[in-house]
Amino acid sequence: MAKRNGQCYLFANWKMYLDYDDSNILANAIAAAKKKIPATVKMAVFPSALSLYPVGQVLGDVGISVGPQNVYWVDKGGYTGEVSAVMYKAAGCEYALVGHSERRLQMRENNHDVRQKTEAILAAGLTPVLCVGETKEEREDGKADTSIEIQLRSAFHEIVWPKDRELIVAYEPVWAVGTGLTCEPQEADRIHAGIKKMISLLVPNAEPVILYGGSVKADNVKSYLTGDNTSGVLVGGASTKLESWMEIVNSLE
């Protein structure tokens, strides 16, 4: 594993699985279990916008970061239904997911939107967690690498990366997200190496942290973390229950 500062990244995307009460219950349970989470695990949780603030208060007390699953790129104004990166920063967030495949596909977010959001996240003082990945068709047509390259170029071309800000990319093959299908660990690590190489050209001053995501569970997490180019995982479904989350944490030991 490519540990960053000796840490393994375990990031939890709760998506829209948990309502306000469920989110607070899980946050409190994780906070209570914090002693059992090794200090070498760097954890961040991405709850719904509705529950982010109270969840952040509970998890912040035990050193776990939070962030939104999406942001809007304008700071303030007549944008009904949106929440800006600046507002999330003021609410205590550290990270923000951007470009998740569910938003790209279901909400029709394009690479241009993802770029604007990435810039807004950086400007607000948050760290973007850029999600990239190929669709099933792209993989079958041998276009996985090209699809990922286009997403990376669009998000990072000539971007000014603040000094000392982490640069995190989560490789999440679209066909593996929420499906139970998984990418072979060696293939995931090969893609991660390609992502690192692209980033060395696009953002030469950054040291990228690459995560794998897509149906990660306790029984496969370790196989991803053995990759030389992999610093952690972004977990969806299995992060939304205390039991399956702690199984993942415990399987690291």
Catalytic annotation, residues = 100, 172
Q: Where are the beta strands (DSSP E) in the chain?
A: 8-13, 41-46, 65-66, 95-98, 127-132, 167-171, 208-213, 232-235
Task: Using the rule CB under 6 A, give the single segment among 19-27, 84-92, 198-206, 228-236 that binds ligand PGA.
Answer: 228-236
Instruction: For residue 215, state whether it binds ligand PGA (rule: CB under 6 A).
Output: yes
Q: Smallest distance from the beta carbon of 239 to ligand PGA, in angstroms?
A: 7
Determine the Cα–Cα distance for residues 146 and 96; give it in Å rounded to an integer: 25
Choice from 56, 68, 173, 236 touching ligand PGA (CB under 6 A): 236
Find where tokens 């029984």 sit. Answer: 219
Segment interacting with ligand PGA, rule: CB under 6 A, options 78-86, 112-120, 142-150, 170-178: 170-178
Interaction between residue 172 and ligand PGA (CB under 6 A): yes
- Specify the stretch interacting with ligand PGA by CB under 6 A; choose among 27-35, 47-55, 218-226, 230-238: 230-238
One of 54, 92, 125, 178 touching ligand PGA (CB under 6 A): 178
Minimum Å gap between C-beta 204 and ligand PGA is 28
177 binds ligand PGA (CB under 6 A): yes
Assess 234 for contact with ligand PGA (CB under 6 A).
Answer: yes
Report the distance separating Cα 24 and Cα 8, nearest Å.
25
Name, in order, each residue with C-beta under 8 angstroms of 122's C-beta and a sequence gap of 6 or more: 128, 159, 160, 161, 162, 165
Q: What proportions of the chain, in percent to the nearest 5, are helix, strand and coil?
A: 40, 15, 40
Q: Shortest Cβ distance from residue 177 to ligand PGA (Å)?
A: 4
- Least separation in angstroms between residue 80's CB and ligand PGA is 26
CA–CA separation, 180 vs 169, rounded Å?
21
Strands 65-66 and 232-235: unpaired
Q: Is residue 237 near ligand PGA by the rule CB under 6 A?
A: yes
99 counts as binding ligand PGA under rule CB under 6 A: no
Which listed range, 83-91, 137-145, 158-166, 212-220, lies at the site for ligand PGA (CB under 6 A)? 212-220
Cβ distance to ligand PGA smaller for residue 134 or 172: 172
Residue 216 interacts with ligand PGA (CB under 6 A)?
A: yes
Where b means 16+ CB within 10 Å and e means fewer, 127-142 reads bbbbbbbbbeebbeee
- The answer to the question of residue 235 lying near ligand PGA (CB under 6 A) is yes
Buried-state track 64-99, b at ≥16 Cβ within 10 A, e below 16: bbbbbbbbbbeeeeeeeeeebbbbbbeebbbbbbbb
Which parts of this chain interact with ligand PGA (CB under 6 A)?
13, 172, 177-178, 213-216, 234-238
